[in-house]
């Protein structure tokens, strides 16, 4: 008897090919490269043993009930899993997995550093300026940015991504690095890569503040009006973690009032909706949740999701099972 695996959106083929080759798997993939409508999701999951979900899918009690007693594993195609109701999954006896890996951390760390340099050198503004035909010759004060060398970079959260940013910046960019986290990071401190400080200290000292924490009740709106006022007027905020870590309204106000110099944002509080006020600001670089969007990383995530499903179907513990 074949076990049904429903994939909520087409993903890179590395993982899909693994599932296709498995003789005991009946693969069903939502045909369109867009978020699956809720009604369609509830209809299509019925009778599935496994759901391979995307971070934009809300997998809650309603979905689990719609799938029925056959549902045994939800494999999330993402490192984060705040889109899945873990308590409800535990009640249903459903295993939940994600797709962490060194290549994902590397891609997001690279994107973070790209945003830091793009903000400092006003790359996006310069691109828009040039495309608009406003460049009429070199000028000594045209689009002045700021050097990154000699500045202080503050890292909030030193998991694999935050640590990746620390390592890359320390190795070649001539910056001072400070960090904060719930617990100290002995390896970072032993190698003298970064200095630990409290969140208020970091916000007051850093020229660039980069967020790398998971979305939890304790981190929702970690950066709000109070925290933004602590930052230097010349400082930049970068977020490649999760949108609700920042109070978006407070950020817009701070940017409009020039309480901080700018922001590089890859994730948003109410994705995919991005406030018009934020989109209109010239001192902001916005990317569409693409920090991990490299061919290598997305193929690896696809493969990991499939491997989690196949391990479970073969009676083994999935390598990336989440503690519930």
- β pairing state of 3-7 and 50-54: parallel
DSSP string, 76-118: EESS--TTB-HHHHHHHT-EEE----HHHHHHHHHHHHHHHHH
Enter the DSSP assignment of 137: S
What is the spatial distance between Cα 46 and Cα 66, in angstroms, rounded to a whole number? 6
Q: List, for residues 87-136, the tens digit of each pLDDT value.
A: 999 999 999 999 998 989 999 999 999 999 999 999 999 999 999 999 99
Q: Report the pLDDT value the prediction gives residue 171, as an integer from 0 to 100.
A: 81
Q: What is the DSSP letter of 223?
A: B
Q: How confident is the model at residue 324 (pLDDT cuts 50, 70, 90)?
A: confident
The percent of residues above 70 in pLDDT, for the chain, comes to 100
Burial level of 195, CB count in 10 A (0-12/13-18/19+)? middle
Catalytic residue among 44, 111, 212, 242: 242
Q: CA-CA distance, 301 to 164, in Å (whole number)?
A: 18
Say what the pLDDT of residue 309 is: 98
pLDDT in tens, 223-234: 999 999 999 999
Quick one: pLDDT band at residue 323, thresholds 50, 70, 90? confident
pLDDT surpasses 90 at 190: no
| pLDDT exceeds cutoff 80 at 250 | yes
| 242 is known as an active-site residue | yes
CA distance 268 to 286: 10
Model confidence pLDDT, tens digit, residues 280-313: 999 999 999 999 999 999 999 999 999 999 999 9
pLDDT band at 15 (very low <50, low <70, confident <90, very high): very high
Query: How would residue 320 be classed by pLDDT, with cut points 50, 70 and 90?
Result: very high
Active site residue 289: yes
Indicate which residue of 121, 168, 221, 289 is catalytic.
289
Neighbours of 140 (CB within 10 A): 5
For position 80, what pLDDT does the model report?
Answer: 87
The chain-wide mean pLDDT, for the chain, equals 96
Which member of 88, 103, 110, 271 is catalytic? Answer: 271
Domains of the chain by start residue, with CATH:
3-98+295-313 (3.40.50.720), 103-286 (3.40.50.720)
pLDDT in tens, 122-170: 999 999 999 999 999 999 999 999 999 999 999 999 999 999 999 999 9
Phi first, then psi, for residue 16 (nearest 5°) are -60, -40
pLDDT band at 216 (very low <50, low <70, confident <90, very high): very high
Q: Give the per-residue pLDDT at 1.
A: 79
Q: ∠5-9-10 over CA atoms, to 5°?
A: 90
pLDDT > 90 fraction of the chain, expressed in percent and rounded: 94
CB 26 within 8 A of CB 2: yes
């Amino acid at each position: 008897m074949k076990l049904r695996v429903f994939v909520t959106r087409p993903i890179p083929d590395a993982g899909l090919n693994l599932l296709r080759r498995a003789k005991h798997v009946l693969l069903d993939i939502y045909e369109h490269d867009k978020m699956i409508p809720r009604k369609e999701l509830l209809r299509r999951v019925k009778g599935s043993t496994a759901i391979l979900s995307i971070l934009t899918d809300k997998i809650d009690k309603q979905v689990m009930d719609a799938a029925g007693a056959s549902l045994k594993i939800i494999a999330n195609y993402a490192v984060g899993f705040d889109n899945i109701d873990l308590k409800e999954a535990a009640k249903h006896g459903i295993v939940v997995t994600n797709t962490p890996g060194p290549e994902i951390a590397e891609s997001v760390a690279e994107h973070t550093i790209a945003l830091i340099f793009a903000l400092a050198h006003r790359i996006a503004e310069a691109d828009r300026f040039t495309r608009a035909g406003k460049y009429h010759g070199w000028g000594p004060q045209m689009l002045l940015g700021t050097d990154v060398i000699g500045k202080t970079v503050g890292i909030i959260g030193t998991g694999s991504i935050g640590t990746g940013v620390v390592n890359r910046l320390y190795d070649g960019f001539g910056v001072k690095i400070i960090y904060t986290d719930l617990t100290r990071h002995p390896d970072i401190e032993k190698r003298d890569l970064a200095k630990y400080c409290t969140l208020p200290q970091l916000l007051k000292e850093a020229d660039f503040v980069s967020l790398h924490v998971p979305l939890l009740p304790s981190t929702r709106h970690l950066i709000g009006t109070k925290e933004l006022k602590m930052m230097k007027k010349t400082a930049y905020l970068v977020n490649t973690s999760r949108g609700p870590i920042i109070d978006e309204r407070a950020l817009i106000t701070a940017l409009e009032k020039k309480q901080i110099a700018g922001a590089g944002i890859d994730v948003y509080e109410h994705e995919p909706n991005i406030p018009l006020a934020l989109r209109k600001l010239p001192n902001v670089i916005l990317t569409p949740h693409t920090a991990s969007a490299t061919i290598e990383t997305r193929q690896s995530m696809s493969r990991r999701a499939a491997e989690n499903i196949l391990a479970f179907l073969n009676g083994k513990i999935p390598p990336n099972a989440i503690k519930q």
